[in-house]
């Protein structure tokens, strides 16, 4: 089983924190859809067994596509690939796009899961991040989607947004859980150099993210969502029982996936491909029957590090026996003293051959994983 990711690189406006590839110029939408359809045809041989169990439309803002454009993409997918009858098919959407007409259109497609970019239920924070929707639109679009029959819903939230206290974040969590959704993805506000926020930090118009403030909100979120019946199955992802995001989980479980569209990534176990992050260059290359990608063949140490990076973030943890069987790598032999230190500090725990981060360890996930990396 494999996954398919399709990148739709258009947005109404630029969010000040966003570092993904997108354009606010939508004049090339039709040309982009045609190129995506052509790449789907050109890439059929990438996956050994192109039987898809998940399809994910990300971006950018896929909800900007028309019913006709989405229909054409789905026709191509089902023409060139085998799709499981119970495939999880997700569309990312912004609240301001999910009006009655759009939701009705989406019910005519194979889409069975919506990922809605709420980010916050507090208007001043939405304006601060330059989001296009209001707090009431955020709540209402979830209810309208449920009324239209979309029961498999996830929303995105952002924590660490500057405020004098944690009241807004607690209110965001309260509103999110009250909406009776099955999945929440929550990300810490990060400031990347090329974003508007990144430039403002350089110009000293705003302060960098307060790491202690963000860490407190992360801890509050873990406890709040656990009390509300959510399981933290990955650092940033929380789900009700049986409602894990199957597509995102495939990344962390190292399943193979194909990425279509500008800036999309693909992975087949031994290499990664990265499509060019330029709309015009992408369309031009595809029109010439060439996929404009860079390929990175993964060394054994890179494969091991990938495994550590992805699995330690999850509830399933890192299997040291699998490391030995697949790559002949003895983690205890190479990092035994470091592991013992993490056990003593309560940052890691052992369950047989499985290593997992504790709640305290999740606060330091990136640091712990980096220190366990195999350096060539």
Inter-residue contact 312 to 322 (CB < 8 Å):
no
* Predicted confidence band of residue 267 (pLDDT cuts 50, 70, 90): very high
What is the SS3 assignment for 102? helix
Residues in the chain: 376
Each residue of 23-60: pLDDT tens digit?
999 999 999 999 999 999 999 999 876 689 999 999 99
Each residue of 195-240: pLDDT tens digit?
999 999 999 999 999 999 999 999 999 999 999 999 999 999 999 9
Assess whether pLDDT exceeds 80 at residue 376.
no
Inter-residue contact 141 to 116 (CB < 8 Å):
yes
Each residue of 124-153: pLDDT tens digit?
999 999 999 999 999 999 999 999 999 999
What is the SS3 assignment for 353? coil
Phi and psi, residue 45, nearest 5°: -90, 0
Q: How many CA atoms lie within 13 A of 136 on its CB side?
A: 0
pTM: 0.96
Report d(CA 269, CA 349) in Å as an integer.
27
Q: What is the pLDDT of residue 5?
A: 98
């Amino acid at each position: 089983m494999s996954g398919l990711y399709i990148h739709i690189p258009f947005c109404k406006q630029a969010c000040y924190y966003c570092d993904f590839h997108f354009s606010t110029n939508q004049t090339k939408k039709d040309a982009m859809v045609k190129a995506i359809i052509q790449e789907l045809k050109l890439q059929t041989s990438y996956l050994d067994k192109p039987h898809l169990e998940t399809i994910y439309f990300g971006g950018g803002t896929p909800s900007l596509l028309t019913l006709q454009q989405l229909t054409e993409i789905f026709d191509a997918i089902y023409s060139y690939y085998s799709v499981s009858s119970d495939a999880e098919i997700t569309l990312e959407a912004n609240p301001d796009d999910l009006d009655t007409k759009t939701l009705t259109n989406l019910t005519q497609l194979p889409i069975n899961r919506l990922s809605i970019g709420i980010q916050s239920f507090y208007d001043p924070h939405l304006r601060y991040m330059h989001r296009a929707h209001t707090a009431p639109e955020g709540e209402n679009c979830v209810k309208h989607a449920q009324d239209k029959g979309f029961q498999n819903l996830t929303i995105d939230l952002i924590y660490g947004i500057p405020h004098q206290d944690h009241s807004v974040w607690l209110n965001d969590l309260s509103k999110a859980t009250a909406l009776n959704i099955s999945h929440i993805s929550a990300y810490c506000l990060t400031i990347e150099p090329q974003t508007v926020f990144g430039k403002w930090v350089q110009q000293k118009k705003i302060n960098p993210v307060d790491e202690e403030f963000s860490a407190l909100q992360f801890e509050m979120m873990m406890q709040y969502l656990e009390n509300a019946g959510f399981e933290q199955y990955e650092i940033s992802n929380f789900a009700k029982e049986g409602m894990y995001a199957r597509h995102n989980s495939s990344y962390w479980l190292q399943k193979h996936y194909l990425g279509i569209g500008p800036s999309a990534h693909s992975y087949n176990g031994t290499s990664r491909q990265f499509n060019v992050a330029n709309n015009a260059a992408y369309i031009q290359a595809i029109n010439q029957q060439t996929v404009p990608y860079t390929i990175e063949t993964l060394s054994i140490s890179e494969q091991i590090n990938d495994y550590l990076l992805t699995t330690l973030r999850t509830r399933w943890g890192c299997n040291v026996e699998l490391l030995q069987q697949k790559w002949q790598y003895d983690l205890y032999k190479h990092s035994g003293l470091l592991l013992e230190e993490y056990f003593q500090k309560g940052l890691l725990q052992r369950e047989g051959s499985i290593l997992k981060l504790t709640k305290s360890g999740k606060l330091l996930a990136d640091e712990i994983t980096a220190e366990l990396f195999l350096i060539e």
